[in-house]
Chain A
Amino acid sequence: EVQLVESGGGLVKPGGSLRLSCAASGFTFSSYSMNWVRQAPGKGLEWVSSISSSSSYIYYADSVKGRFTISRDNAKNSLYLQMNSLRAEDTAVYYCARDRMTTVTTNWFDPWGQGTLVTVSS
């Protein structure tokens, strides 16, 4: 069974840092592009960042560029999101999501993890 399990969320003060992790199982992690998508409380979905299978291609939303860093460790079947200079508007549930296909990056997200909540507040 394909599984994505996020961890690392919590309460952090504005300006602080947090590192999210996503543990993958049930599929060949190293063959898929991976993504982070967030959802502020009561709001819609916002794509955050994507990384190709070999980390050759990395993309960020303008809202997080320069503050967040996506990375992966294919040996550990894990995806990461290092979040620095956090702001109140970064408060959200952060989901990791796999690309739908392995042979070509489709930018369709399937499946998703259950999410981890990040709260930025003083």
Chain B
Amino acid sequence: EIVLTQSPATLSLSPGERATLSCRASQSVSSYLAWYQQKPGQAPRLLIYDASNRATGIPARFSGSGSGTDFTLTISSLEPEDFAVYYCQQRSNFTFGPGTKVDIK
């Protein structure tokens, strides 16, 4: 079973700063990795699929990169609405990572 780990657990940043979130797989998932955003009290929303493709309606400040076992979600300049929890997911057995909370510094 493929296990995903995310780091850091919490990222404290200010609006306008750049956020870099990491997701690592216990074995290669090729480019089959997605990122989701979840705000308090809301359902998750797909941001990135296949490691680097933005989902419909996702702003260009969100970008994904990586392949194999190491992946990165980058938010180029944090907007107030970006403070949320971010999960990565791999598709071979549908597992999610534990999440990274991006909160306001």
Return the contact of A109 from the options B42, B46, B95, B99 (Cβ within 8 A): B46
Question: CA separation between A95 and B34, bound complex, in Å?
Answer: 17
Which of chain A's residues have a CB closer than 8 A to the CB of B89?
45, 108-109
In the complex, which residue of chain B has the Cβ closest to the Cβ of A110?
B46
> Could you list some 21 contacts between A and B, CB below 8 A?
A37-B44, A44-B96, A44-B98, A44-B99, A45-B38, A45-B87, A45-B89, A45-B96, A47-B95, A95-B43, A100-B46, A100-B49, A107-B94, A108-B34, A108-B46, A108-B89, A109-B89, A110-B46, A110-B55, A112-B43, A112-B44
How many B residues face the partner with a CB closer than 8 A?
Answer: 21
Total A-B pairs in contact (CB under 8 Å)? 56
Residues of A within 8 A of B (CB): 35, 37, 44-47, 50, 59, 61, 95, 100, 106-115
Q: Which residues of B sit under 8 angstroms from A112, Cβ to Cβ? A: 43-45
* B interface secondary structure, majority: loop
